[in-house]
């Protein structure tokens, strides 16, 4: 039976945005054809909704009431506002690569600070190179998710970072996305390639400049980690209160690597980070941790798929959520163990702390195991602050908010301690404390 699905008003608006913007998008020839095919793939699926299992708790048809037009090219005033906003998420000592309203801005970036062994190019310059049509592959992925297809069709810019074999970076690389526009959509995509035996720290940050509101971000990062490499990867989402941020990570991990990924969400009306991580080389160690800090009516979704494709790999997932007011936190974690992936060791745990009667947390850990010699497990809990501990702290002179903040910090600390780098741990804790200060 053929089933014909009528487009929603939101989906029709997406089609109109693409039709209007396609002449502004970089690339012709094979690049333009790849965009067209990606948009057709998106249209066949439509905006994700609750009948799609992976999007059960984040129904974009309902949550996105309208689709904003593509953001304009940032002018001097927008760049000045972006510069002022950088301090909100800047990591000391990091070499920054700054995108403003979806466009790379060299005058705010520090490519020269990266030194030898690192190559950085903008996605726009690669796609616009008429002699380089083969690089249309930068718009292709093996993932069929509709949001990623839409990203491929609409992407305006991003960065391609390549780190040569054996390079040990002395400073972190920080990709900063600054929104200055209002009621506009931003589409970015970056490729990060780590060579064999490299050592690096990668930070992604999303922040709103003063006056930015109701913008919609769709970002994708395609990350390849070479054999024997070590990568610390930190994400911080500090968007405007009425913003939408849908970010995707597609990660392929080589043999004998160490990857430590941490995601912090503390802003935005609707946010979702979906990570697709494939352990493709034996003997690798993966640690994925994160925190959702939500208040008002904020909706924060972390969805992870960890695919153990080969034997002798270890993965750990540890997530915390603190939800106040009418916020809604979602964690979906799936560990897949392929038939040949014997000696896999995979575990995940998620805990949610609900600070009001109307706060909500949906936790859905899953295991798909097709091998027999494995050690895997998962767990999920949710609950309120311990009243006896609150009473103890208040009896010693703390206000109710201060007592709650102390207990929340302890709850978050279990996840934050998984960050190997001390300076990054302090940075994340400072971001969490900023959220707690607003709560006071």
Residue 4: per-residue pLDDT: 42
**For residues 271 and 238, is the Cβ–Cβ distance under 8 A?**
no
Note the pLDDT tens digit of each residue in 230-262.
999 999 999 999 999 999 999 999 999 999 999
Percent of the chain with pLDDT over 70: 97
Residue 187: per-residue pLDDT: 97
392-411: burial string, b at 16+ Cβ within 10 Å, e else: ebeeeeeeeeebbbebbeeb
Residue 137: per-residue pLDDT: 85
Residue 6: per-residue pLDDT: 52
Note the pLDDT tens digit of each residue in 281-297.
999 999 999 999 999 99
Note the pLDDT tens digit of each residue in 355-411.
999 999 999 999 999 999 999 999 999 999 999 999 999 999 999 999 999 999 999
Residue 217: per-residue pLDDT: 98
**For residues 70 and 35, is the Cβ–Cβ distance under 8 A?**
no
Region 42-50: mean pLDDT is 91
Residue 7: per-residue pLDDT: 63
pTM for this model (two decimals): 0.94
Residue 133: per-residue pLDDT: 57
**For residues 177 and 204, is the Cβ–Cβ distance under 8 A?**
yes
Contacts of 157 (CB under 8 A, 6+ apart): 26, 99, 102, 103, 104, 122, 123, 124, 188
List the one residue out of 73, 75, 84 whose CA is nearest residue 208. Answer: 84
Res. 311: pLDDT tops 90: yes
pLDDT classification of 3: cutoffs 50, 70, 90:
very low
pLDDT classification of 2: cutoffs 50, 70, 90:
very low
Handedness of CA 421, 426, 429, 434 (dihedral sign): negative
Residues forming beta bridges with residue 155, ordered by sequence position: none
Region 324-348: mean pLDDT is 97
């Amino acid at each position: 039976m053929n089933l014909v699905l009528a487009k929603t008003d939101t989906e029709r608006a997406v089609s109109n945005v693409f039709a209007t913007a396609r002449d502004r998008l970089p690339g012709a020839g094979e690049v333009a054809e790849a965009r067209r095919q990606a948009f057709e793939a998106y249209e066949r699926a439509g905006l994700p909704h609750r009948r799609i299992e992976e999007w059960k708790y984040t129904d974009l048809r309902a949550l996105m009431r309208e689709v904003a037009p593509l953001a304009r090219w940032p002018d001097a005033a927008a760049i000045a506002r972006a510069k002022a906003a950088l301090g909100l998420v800047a990591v000391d000592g990091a070499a920054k690569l700054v995108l403003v309203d979806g466009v790379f801005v060299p005058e705010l970036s520090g490519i020269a600070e990266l030194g030898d062994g690192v190559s950085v190019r903008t996605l726009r310059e690669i796609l616009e190179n008429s002699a380089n049509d083969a690089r249309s592959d930068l718009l292709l992925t093996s993932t069929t998710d509709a949001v990623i297809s839409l990203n491929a069709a609409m992407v305006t810019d991003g960065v391609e970072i390549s780190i040569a074999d054996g390079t040990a970076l002395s400073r972190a690389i920080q990709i900063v996305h600054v929104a200055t526009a209002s009621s506009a959509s931003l589409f970015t995509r970056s490729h990060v390639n780590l060579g064999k035996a490299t050592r690096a720290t990668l930070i992604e940050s999303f922040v709103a400049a003063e006056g930015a509101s109701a913008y919609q971000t769709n970002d994708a990062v395609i990350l390849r980690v070479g054999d024997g490499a070590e990568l610390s990867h930190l994400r911080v989402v500090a968007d405007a209160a009425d913003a939408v941020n849908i970010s995707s990570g597609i990660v392929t991990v080589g043999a004998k690597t160490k990857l430590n990924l941490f995601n912090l969400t503390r802003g935005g009306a609707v946010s979702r980070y979906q990570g697709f991580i494939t352990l493709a080389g034996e003997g690798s160690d993966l640690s994925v941790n994160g925190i959702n800090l939500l208040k008002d009516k904020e909706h924060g979704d972390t969805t992870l798929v960890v695919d153990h494709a080969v034997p002798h790999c270890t993965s750990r997932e540890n997530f915390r959520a603190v939800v106040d007011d009418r916020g809604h936190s979602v964690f979906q974690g799936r560990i897949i163990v392929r038939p040949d992936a014997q000696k896999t060791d995979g575990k995940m745990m998620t805990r949610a702390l609900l600070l009001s009667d109307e706060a909500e947390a949906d936790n859905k850990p899953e295991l798909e195991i097709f091998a027999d010699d494995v050690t895997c497990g998962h767990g999920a809990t949710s609950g309120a602050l311990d009243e006896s501990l609150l009473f103890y702290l208040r009896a010693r002179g703390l206000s109710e908010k201060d007592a709650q903040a102390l207990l929340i910090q302890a709850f978050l600390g279990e996840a934050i301690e998984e960050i190997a780098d001390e300076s990054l741990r302090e940075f994340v804790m400072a971001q969490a404390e900023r959220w707690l200060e607003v709560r006071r």
